[in-house]
Every structure is written in C-alpha cells, then in structure tokens.
Amino acid sequence: MAKKYKVVVVGMGKRGMHHATTCQANPRFEVAGICDIDQKRLDDAAAKLGVAVKGNDAAEVARAVRPEVFCFCTLPNIRASMVKIGIESGAKLIAMEKPVALTSAEGFEVRDLLARSGVKAVVSHQHRYGEHYQKVGELVASGALGRIHTVYGTATGWMMHMLSHLVDYLRWFNNDAEAEWVMAQAAGRSKLADIHPSPDYIDGFIHFANGVHGVIECGAGAPDVPEVDYWWRKCRMGAQGTDGFAEVLTGGGWRAVTKAGASSGAGSMSYDLDMPPYIQEMAEWLDDDRRVHPCHFSSAYKGFEIMMAFCRSAAEGGQVALPLTSAADEIEMLKRSVPGRKILLSLAASAKEYTS
C-alpha cells in the first residue's frame, strides 16, 4: 500500500481549512496536527477534522507530530519563521500560501533556508488546475498560436493578493522563460497599510530572455472583465502569437482565435476543484523526486522576484534587472514614493476597496 503522509497545518482560516479538508479527503495524507493562535478557530477546526494534536504554538505542534508535510496558511506577514519551523520539524515538503514574502529581504531568507535544507516546497498557485487554465496552457503548448510574442494578465484585486497569481500563470504561458528586466508604475496609497500591503494600482512590463514581453495590470486601474460578475475573479490572462491568441478569465471560461477559427469553453476558479489535484501532486513529488510539483517553490520564487522588481521600478523609476542581487524592503520603498494623489478607477465596483 502507498505510504500515507502525516501533515501539520498551521493557520486554520479560509485557506488552512481548504488545505486540511482536502488532505483529509485524500487517502495519501492524514492531518495529524493543527495550529492556530485563535483558540476558537482551532477548536472548531479540530472538531471538524477529528485531529489528535492541536495547539497555539506551531513549533510545539510540529515537534509533537514530526510530519512529512508542514503546511502553513498564515497571513503574508509570517513566512521565514514558519519555513524554519517546518525545516526543523524534519518535514520533507513545506506547503505555503502565496505570496512568497512581503519583501525581497524575507524572500531571500526563505529561498536560502529552503536551498540549504534541501526540503521540497510548493506555493499555492492552484488556479492553474482549472479546466479553463489547462485549456489555455494546452493551446499555447500546442503551437496553435504560432510564435508567442506577448503574454498578459490583469486583475482588479490588489498586488499582494493577485500579482503572484498573474505572474505565475503568465510565466507558465511563456514556458517558464527567465525574466531579464521589468519596468513598472504605481498609484494609490489606501492598500499600503493593508495586511496584504500594496499600491492600489501597479502595472508594468517584463522582458523575458526569449524575447517575449509580459504586460501586467493589477488593482484599481486594471480594466473591467465584464464577462465575470465576481469582483475578485475579474482577471484576464493569456498569450498572443503570430497565429492567434488564447486567454482565460478566472471566473469566466476561456476563448481562443487561431488559424482554425474562434473557439471558447467553460471553467471558473473553484477551490473544490482546484485543491484536490494540487494536494495529490504533493504525494506524487514526495513519492518520486522526478515528479516535480508544477507549483514548486523555485518557480514561484521567480514570479516573486518579478513582483518585487515591479515595486522597485515603481518606487525608483527606470528598469530593474533580474535576478535581484541585493535585499530590500519594497513596501517601505513604495510607502516613501507612491504619490498621494487620488486614485482614478476603471470600474465603479472598485470604489469600496480603493479609497485613496
């Protein structure tokens, strides 16, 4: 019988519960310990999941369980300290939420901790499992678009929530090519104090080593996606080539125009559909080093560096070369530099979020 992997989940909020319930439903995993600093959340989760070990201190829970998978779904202000706990617990794989970190300084620390330990890690960019994302991925890989010259992504949600996703899928549509430089602009200060700190609006260009350019708009000024009702899912991502284009709308299916004509299909981002394959592929990577998880850390880290480079370019002007070579606190850089002018919106529905 295939090995069953023990899991600890830290942070029993929305995403922690998604991870824990999906692991419990998968015969390859057993959630053996959970942790939250909020006692009620912890007790409610323990009752729902039927978990033996629970506690308010992640290191204690991890020491008691000695899991193969250390998963943490805390808010983005906690990253390196949790990765350390995961490594010290002896886990073989750390599953973390996006974004990788809030600053390049912490992102470098996380990268170096993982590299020194050799522990596998995945970052939850699980939208890619949606049937509509998969379809666009297949169309791009099939060559039906000809030579890809542009990949693009827009989202009405703000940077620390959404940019990580946009960059990850855009890199996928460009065959994970290396980025060489970026240039970006930012506006609006109301979300700089958020727990997912961000300028209200950031946009920019990415130059990839294969000559393809990436174009991103994220936040208050990003265009509406009128085909999608749910504000958080108003995201459009795709690729354009010499023979056509293909794009996915997070909440509204996919479409393509190629030499064969126009085509489209269904699909909408769904935690219920996207989490099971994301979790299953962790078991497969644990079983076999060659079956690297599509959401592996080193790929997510490259997207994270692009996001940090956007922030630096927006704060200081000009192009920023990649990979980054020195650590910085990009959110402080933005706090010092983003103008105080009133944000100009692209759609009225965004007024409740962007108040600067």
The owner of tokens 């970052």 is 123
The stretch near ligand NAD (CB under 6 A) out of 75-83, 100-108, 258-266, 326-334 is: 75-83
Rounded CA-CA distance 201/311 in Å is 11
Give the one residue of 37, 105, 215, 257 binding ligand NAD; rule: CB under 6 A: 37
Does the footprint of ligand NAD cover residue 58 (CB under 6 A)?
A: yes
Under rule CB under 6 A, residue 64 binds ligand NAD = no
CA distance to 86, 150, 238, 258, 288, per residue, from 263 (Å): 45, 20, 14, 8, 37
Stretch that binds ligand NAD, among 8-16, 128-136, 216-224, 255-263 (CB under 6 A): 8-16
Out of 64, 78, 257, 292, the residue judged to bind ligand NAD by CB under 6 A: 78
Closer residue to ligand NAD, CB minimum distance, 39 or 210: 39
Residue 65 makes contact with ligand NAD by CB under 6 A: no
Site for ligand NAD in 106-135 (CB under 6 A): 124, 126
**How many residues in the chain?**
356
Residue among 21, 24, 74, 104 that touches ligand NAD (CB under 6 A): 74
- How far from 265 is each of 43, 130, 240, 254, CA to CA, in Å? 42, 12, 18, 5
Q: What are phi and psi of 334, to 5 degrees?
A: -70, -40
Decide if residue 240 touches ligand NAD (CB under 6 A): no
Site membership for ligand NAD, residue 186 (CB under 6 A): no
Cβ closer to ligand NAD: 114 or 148? 114
How far is Cα 223 from Cα 64, in angstroms, rounded to an integer?
A: 49
Give the total of residues touching ligand NAD (CB under 6 A): 24
Token readout for 238 is 């795709």
* Residue whose beta carbon is closest to ligand NAD: 13
192 binds ligand NAD (CB under 6 A): no
CA distance 311 to 315: 6
> For residues 36 and 58, what is the distance between their CA atoms, to the nearest angstrom?
8
**Which of these ranges, 25-33, 36-44, 311-319, 341-349, lies near ligand NAD under the rule CB under 6 A?**
36-44
Instruction: Please identify which residue in 98, 135, 191, 255 interacts with ligand NAD, judged by CB under 6 A.
Output: 98
Q: Which is nearer to ligand NAD, 78 or 80 (CB)?
A: 78
Q: Are strands 120-123 and 93-96 parallel, antiparallel or unpaired?
A: parallel
Give one DSSP letter per residue of 123-177, joined into a string. Answer: E--GGGGSHHHHHHHHHHHHTTT-SEEEEEEEESS-HHHHHHHHHHHHHHHTTTP
Instruction: Give the interface with ligand NAD as residue ranges (CB under 6 A).
Output: 10-16, 35-38, 41, 58, 73-76, 78, 97-98, 124, 126, 161, 196
